[in-house]
Amino acid sequence: MGGLDRPMATQPRLVLITGSTAGIGRRAALELARQGWQVIVQGRDGKKAERVANELKQESGNPKIDFLVADLSSMSAVRGLAAEVKQRYGRLDVLLNNAGAVNLKREVTADGYERTFATNHLAYFLLTNLLLPELQKGDRPRVVSVSSAAHRSGRLNFDDLMADKGYVGWLQYGRSKLANILFTRELARRTQPLGITANCLHPGFVASDFLSKGGLWTVIKPLAYLFAIDETQGAKTSIFLASSPEVEGVTGQYFVKCRPAAPKKFAEDDEAARRLWEASEKLTGLAATSKAA
């Protein structure tokens, strides 16, 4: 893996955590900062991202916390985020793909893509691929992607990834989380020769504002949250996969409660993983970029 280009071991490890201005992303940022990491917080709202970065500095006692702003439902914004990481840092040790969304009504992004799938899968796919050169320059580089047990309700129709033919918000969310696992599987295969590991996880059913979407959820939320875990518990597996020496060299796995677990059978289909990768290349324009390069 070209150890001559590695940073000195005394240099703080650098992590980019998407969707880290709230919820389990913020908690992961706080805990890694407390461990002495250099943390890049990412959010959609610049004022909120700056405020959270300053709060994390105070709470952790670590001044090495930066923030970047991007709407990850936009592929051009994802490209801009990657370019800024390249320009400002030139390397990355861990990419924690944490940003997520669920839309109960179908919404379309500026690119013409269904918003849940664009934010939860295409952004992970494009950002990770664009930052692979920076990860190769990192120390023990890892890609960690937050999936969900909701993947078990998802079914991928490669002829209708954007749910044009029928939209149910929670089912589309499940499809996007299934895509996270298939993406991780194929990413691990492709990056193992580069020394980059890739794993994904289910954080648990977390009591956070992520699910505050109104409608029926407003009625059942108080009861449902009696069975939920808090954000500190929800962030544990993300932090474990980003930082623990126990998973050094482990790649292509799905974790629950800091342990490898078996996802639904379709999520282990190598042909489906390859097919999704190729579809994602076309949707994000990555295939054209690769050919041009």
Annotation says 254 is catalytic: no
Question: Residue 208 carries which DSSP code?
Answer: S
Burial of 220 (0-12, 13-18, 19+ CB in 10 A): exposed
φ, ψ (nearest 5 deg) of residue 175? -65, -40
What is the rounded CA–CA span in Å between residue 51 and residue 55?
A: 6
Beta pairing partners, 65:
39
Angle between helices 23-34 and 236-243 (to 10 degrees): 40
* Start-to-end Cα distance in the chain: 22
Q: Which among 22, 86, 15, 28 is positioned nearest to 60, based on CA atoms?
A: 28
> What's the half-sphere exposure (Cβ side, CA atoms, 13 Å) at 257?
4
What is the rounded CA–CA span in Å between residue 267 and residue 67?
A: 33
Residue with tokens 């109960």: 104
List the structure tokens of 136.
């190769």
φ, ψ (nearest 5 deg) of residue 260? -60, 140
**How many CB atoms are closer than 10 A to CB 90?**
12
Q: Which of 167, 173, 225, 254 is catalytic?
A: 173
Rg (CA), the chain: 18
For the chain, how many residues are written? Answer: 293
Question: Residue 12 carries which DSSP code?
Answer: P
Catalytic residues: 173
